[in-house]
Amino acid sequence: MTYFGMSFGMWTMFAGSFQKQLTVVFGYDVDTAKTITKKAKPKYREIISELPEFEKGDRFKMNIVNCAMIGAFVLSMPERPDVEWLTEYYAKSMMTKPMKWFCQMSGKSKFTEKDIAGMKATAALRAADRNPYSWNMEFYEYPDGSGYEGRFTKCGICVLMKKLGLYDLTPALCRLDYTMSEAGGVTDFVRQYTLASGGPYCDCGYKKKGFMKAGTEAGR
């Protein structure tokens, strides 16, 4: 995968936040945070260069680019963080003001015909059959009309984290799904399994906030 385009844009957008949170979450001093960031940039470019190009229509390219960034930072830290600390670090680094705005805009189109058509197209693409760093997903609409679920049987983040020797830290990245759903403001994110925790699949369920089944009354 080329560094230019999305990969370059994501570094430009988030590197400053990743550097700032090194001091906020981990307590590194400013100079150490700058040194880590300086080391992380070439590592990030190296990771990106070893990834295949994603197919047109594959909506998960951004996910793997984000994984490459957090991986580069972890590999550049003086000490390896544990999952709990990395979960906080990753969430705070990613949830910048522009990212929160993006989540809110995405929330406005959630459950629309276009959104559901996009989910179905993603499920049909089965990109991970050709690119191990992408995802395979099955799409399920909840029969009660409360929302839908994407059920992932292959996960590019799991593959890349294994390659980087960071697989045990993968749950820290999975947790961002909850944070982004909350920022969107229209869904309650529900999950039973993750591949990273040994589950049979990764379920990403989005339920409409305040959903009330037709024919029911508040308080019943």
pLDDT in tens, 16-25: 999 999 999 9
> Would you call 113 helix, strand, or coil by DSSP?
helix
Distances (CA, A) of 107 to 3, 208, 213: 29, 10, 21
**pLDDT(214) > 70:** no
Contact 177, 95 (CB under 8 A): no
Exposure string of 24-40, with b = 16+ CB inside 10 Å and e = fewer, is ebbebeeeebebbbeeb
pLDDT digits (tens, 9 = 90+) for 77-117: 999 999 999 999 999 999 999 999 999 999 999 999 999 99
Regarding pTM above 0.85, the answer is yes
> How would you class 217 by CB atoms within 10 Å of its CB: exposed for 0-12, middle for 13-18, buried for 19 or more?
exposed
pLDDT digits (tens, 9 = 90+) for 26-44: 999 999 999 999 999 999 9
Cβ contacts of 124 within 8 Å, gap of 6 or more = none
pLDDT digits (tens, 9 = 90+) for 101-112: 999 999 999 999
- What is the reported pLDDT for 163? 98
